A and B are shown apart, each in its own frame.
Chain A
């Protein structure tokens, strides 16, 4: 163990063969992958998380499709199940992302973050790894929901390119919004507090929107917010792409408009909440 050379900043020499007395810490990619791996293992080995992340979407889908669905009229020439599914998937980002916030808050409260922050690694890598893993887990839940959606009667009316674009867009939206959940986790004092904050955020975002019902069926005073908030935009973008055009979703814009606006929202959310999360985690109190 050496104590001299206090001046040089350490260079990450990848001395795998040569014996080194001092470890110099993992690089960004390794650290991010380790962090991601931990999150994924946690999910698939914790029955409650796995159940919630897999079955929750199915439950709600059945509820909307068969219980509320009969009472909702999405407009002429379109079945409610077709109208519902794209919005349901968009709002699924919200419900499926919640465990990320509680997981992060729990790691902060139980000293996991202190341990990680005491290691010689780029601190941003840990949250970056989490964001990838949690997005993948959301993707898992969305995949299960999608399969079910086809079983309960959802049918696409779009070309391969549009469907692919919809899938990519959904993943991008999930990824960007994941940083909101990570930020909530990092700024909450406990997992319970994080759950509370998430609920307060998710319920209005999911329901005061065009995710489950046509935007123009909401009360007039609600519409200015509902028609412009990101989850209405996301829902409409996915509807435009999967149902054969924006004229099927109302609100009088074309597909490119909804897709572009979605991407703008994504970029803004990522910028703001990515910055909050990374600086919050890396900061020395």
Chain B
């Protein structure tokens, strides 16, 4: 089957900056592909190239087999784009916004009306359809913006950081909407800097940094690649954090990492249960009281750390996967 996106060796410079430095990406139909990377990694530039908004300096992009450089208009017929901002018109109602985009997609007046109503219904905005968008909450605007990229019934949906700036509730709602879309047969490429988002939504994750792909695969494959499991300890008192770090440094195969936000110390270990037992013993010997101690699979952040030597999102506590150690053994 033709991949929905097939990009080979995409390069793009802006002056001296190499925004894209030879990106290869193949996204198969039928699931979400996530482009994960820190700010400035080149995510938006790549999406813009797929959306035919910019022309790469080198390389080839095919969308559903169509050459994006040679036949941009045919690509535009099958994509929907929702950018980083909710680019809906505040002075128009939800319905008016969607009808306008539907009309631009080439639907007739009646079809546009039906399509707008369908999409509003599907995104849970039917009741708000006749209100001006300026009265919407941030989450509703984002959903409406997603809707605007949907009314043309695109084959491929491009979502550039769809949940940036949303509260957890709004984020969950949008994830739900995206999952439903994929279930209905729409292919999705989304960019995100949230590990949890990629983990939750995508079956295929491409991690990029400085315009290059540094790892790609399913979440499980990526975690396997990072190799080691992780032991994570949260002492009852923050004053014990250095002592915990010292104890873990005796066990782990790499230096422990202390996250001051969540007050957890984690260290990758070569084995698993045996090391966990050792850690418990060491903590016991030192009389350190702990709230939580566990063995878990590496997070995508550790995958990123393993490949690049830095953390993906060191300052963003609200999406830190370590705040819920679900994989504790």
Contacts and interface: CB of A to CB of B under 8 A. Distances in A.
Contacts of A114: 48, 51, 53, 81, 83, 87
A22 B84 contact: no
Contacts of B182: none
B71 A6 contact: yes
Nearest to B158: A118
B295 interface: no
B100 A34 contact: yes
Contacts of A121: 104
A118 B104 contact: no
A171 interface: no
A148 interface: no
Contacts of B78: 1, 22
Contacts of A46: 91
Nearest to A8: B74
Contacts of B105: 23, 25-26, 119-120
B66 interface: yes
Contacts of B100: 34, 37-38
Interface in A47-102: none
A112 B15 CA distance: 25
A151 interface: no
Contacts of B111: 16
A10 B103 contact: no
Nearest to A284: B55
B163 interface: no
B73 interface: yes
Contacts of B153: 23
B83 A111 contact: yes
Contact of A284 (B54, B85, B152): B54
Contacts of A112: 87, 89
Interface residues of B, number: 46
A24 interface: yes
B108 interface: yes
A25 B154 CA distance: 12
A24 B132 contact: no
Contacts of A38: 89, 92, 100
Nearest to B152: A23
B53 A285 contact: yes
A178 B325 CA distance: 59
Contact of A25 (B73, B84, B155): B73
B101 interface: yes
Contacts of B82: 115
A38 B96 CA distance: 9
B174 interface: no
Q: Is the interface of A mostly helix, strand, loop or mixed?
A: loop
Interface string A156-185: 000000000000000000000000000000
Contacts of A120: 73-74, 76-77, 105-106
A4 B74 CA distance: 11
A1 B83 contact: no
B67 interface: yes
B81 A115 contact: yes
A41 B87 contact: no
B73 A10 contact: yes
A3 B51 contact: no
A117 B48 CA distance: 10
B52 interface: yes
Interface string A182-219: 00000000000000000000000000000000000000
B107 interface: yes
A30 interface: yes
A85 to B, nearest CB: 32
Nearest to B80: A118
B39 interface: no
Contact of B77 (A24, A42, A115): A24
Given A6-B66, A115-B81, A23 B106 contact: yes
Interface string A22-44: 11111000110010011001100
A118 B53 contact: yes
Interface in A112-158: 112, 114-121
Contacts of B52: 117-118, 284
Given A114-B53, A285-B53, A3 B65 contact: yes
Give the residue among A10, A37, A117 with the most B Cβ atoms within 10 A.
Answer: A117
The 9 residue pairs across chains A and B that have the minimum distance between CB atoms: A111-B87, A111-B83, A118-B81, A120-B76, A45-B91, A285-B54, A111-B85, A23-B105, A284-B55
Given A10-B74, A10-B77, A25-B76, 17 more contacts: A3-B65, A6-B66, A9-B73, A22-B155, A23-B107, A25-B105, A26-B103, A30-B103, A37-B100, A38-B100, A114-B51, A115-B87, A115-B101, A118-B52, A118-B81, A120-B77, A285-B48
Interface of B: 2, 48, 51-55, 64-67, 71-74, 76-85, 87, 89, 91-92, 96, 100-101, 103-108, 111, 132, 148-149, 152-153, 155, 158
15 contacts: A3-B65, A6-B71, A9-B71, A10-B77, A24-B106, A26-B104, A38-B92, A41-B92, A111-B83, A115-B82, A117-B53, A118-B53, A118-B76, A118-B158, A285-B53
